[in-house]
Amino acid sequence: MNKRDFDAVVVGSGPNGLAAAITMQEAGLSVLLLEAKDTIGGGLRTAELTLPGYLHDICSAIHPLAAESPYFKTLSLAAHGLEYIYPAVSAAHPFDNGTAAILSKSIAETAQLLGDDGKSYQQLIQPLVNDWPDIAKAALGPLRIPNHPVAMGKFGLNALQSAVFLANYRFKTKEARGLWAGMAAHSIQPLTNTATSAIGLVLMAMGHIKGWPMPKGGSQGIATALASYFVSLGGKIETGFPVSSLKQLPSSHAVLFDVTPKQLLQIAGHKFSSLYKWQLERYRYGMGVFKVDWALDGPIPFTAPDCMRAGTVHLGNTLEEVAASEHVTSKGGHPEKPFVLLAQQSLFDPTRAPAGKQTAWAYCHVPNGSEVDMTEAIEKQVERFAPGFRDRILARHVMNTSEMEAYNANYIGGDINGGIIDVAQLFTRPALRLSPYKTSAKGLYICSSSTPPGGGVHGMCGYHAARRALTDVFNLRAKSL
């Protein structure tokens, strides 16, 4: 190889960009990581958005996939300052009658509170929890023949079902159906879509395997630890370096982009084949999010006591109501009662707020690119299950879809998943190719959540993209997971 400034350049410092950079650096290469913003992290940033002393996660907040990521678990991130806090209850789902279904670490406790559906719940989730070590590497990677086909097959039979179909087949009680709906709604699709059960199954399994943790001090802690590890290996990071053209980049043998197809076309589209460019141009983005952060004078006064034990609370009442909300949004509407995902980190992490005060974080799904202010609708949903909530608001900070995209260019139209993960794009992210990470241009790769396995803080997209680049360009092998 000819002498270059660096062996590899990674554009974008989200969890996947960081994972790609670390993987390449661990293989003995010289790697430069470039970040457009002044701080690294992508969706992993924490800031005082409302009042001094109140720390809010700007995007991602709760991290079950980060804690159980097959790739992140190979890194010594605790030595670089990362500490996870695990609430006793991963998620709670309150109902209008003042009760709540919960996802606790104990399958037995969760099942007991689901009444007549307890046995069915155990039969659905226990095998997935037992088989997860065998399933994880295949489920969190590109389409390939799994090492454990029986375990993966059992998972796939349920995962490929729509969330509504699975609920109708498995559950009868409002508690089990509601809890399930909240989990499946993380798919950011209508719950009648094929494969919307996949994310619900994974999130429930994560709750029982270890829990849904939050990083102490904020989600920025994950990015800071990853960056510290990368630098300790000799990697270099440059912030405040937005990339809009290949001409801006130092010379290297490989470039990995932690961006979505829209930005990739803008940066390097002239290098791509007509077929590859055609596929990227037709890549589809999904629903966006409208987000609110609050500084509070005290804890959210949920009627259901179990909500006070939970790091995450899903606000949507019944499965039918959640499904209707997501359906309306997918058709371009703005439901009066949106499904709301809420996190209350400061209940478990006192570093997030001044003594005696609290923070809260919430969002609802909206049509891609929506400019509608959903603050009132979100706060009504919180007040519905926690009367007196509004009296505790000291300050708020809101972000619509355009503000989400301004914060992170990967959030096209407010889509935090890097593109819709429906069945049509489940195995073809971002294009139909033997390797989804390899573009049609020599030495250029995509490593963002627009590649398998998709959204979430797990670094697996970055790891697999770097693994492909190491083989293609450098004839090297990444470390095995």
CA 228 to each of CA 11, 25, 41, 464: distance values in angstroms, whole numbers, following the listed order = 17, 13, 12, 21
Secondary structure of the chain in the HEC alphabet? CCCCCEEEEEECCCHHHHHHHHHHHHCCCCEEEECCCCCCCCCCCEECCCCCCCCEECCCCCCHHHHCCCCHHHCCCHHHCCCEECCCEEEEEECCCCCEEEEECCHHHHHHCCHHHHHHHHHHHHHHHHHHHHHHHHHCCCCCCCCCHHHHHHHHHHHCCCHHHHHHHHCCCHHHHHHHHHHHHHHCCCCCCCCCHHHHHHHHHHHHHCCCCEECCCCHHHHHHHHHHHHHCCCEEECCCCCCCHHHCCCEEEEEECCCHHHHHHHHHHHCCHHHHHHHHCCCCCCEEEEEEEEECCCCCCCCHHHHHEEEEEECCCHHHHHHHHHHHHCCCCCCCCCEEEECHHHCCHHHCCCCCEEEEEEEEECCCCCCCCHHHHHHHHHHHCCCHHHHEEEEEEECHHHHHHHCCCCHHHCCCCCCCCHHHHCCCCCCCCCCCECCCCCEEECCCCCCCCCCCCCHHHHHHHHHHHHHHHCCCCCCC
How far is it, in rounded angstroms, from Cα 78 to Cα 71? Answer: 14
pLDDT tens, N- to C-terminus, the chain (481 residues): 566 799 999 999 999 999 999 999 999 999 999 999 999 999 999 999 999 999 999 999 999 999 999 999 999 999 999 999 999 999 999 999 999 999 999 999 999 999 999 999 999 999 999 999 888 888 888 877 677 788 888 888 999 999 999 999 999 999 999 999 999 999 999 999 999 999 999 999 999 999 999 999 999 999 999 999 999 999 999 999 999 999 999 999 999 999 999 999 999 999 999 999 999 999 999 999 999 999 999 999 999 999 999 999 999 999 999 999 999 999 999 999 999 999 999 999 999 999 999 999 999 999 999 999 999 999 999 999 999 999 999 999 999 999 999 999 999 999 999 999 998 888 789 999 999 999 999 999 999 999 999 999 999 999 999 999 999 999 999 888 8
Domains and CATH numbers, the chain: 6-47+61-82+215-284+420-474 (3.50.50.60), 84-213+286-407 (3.90.660)
Which residue carries 């037995």 as its tokens? 108
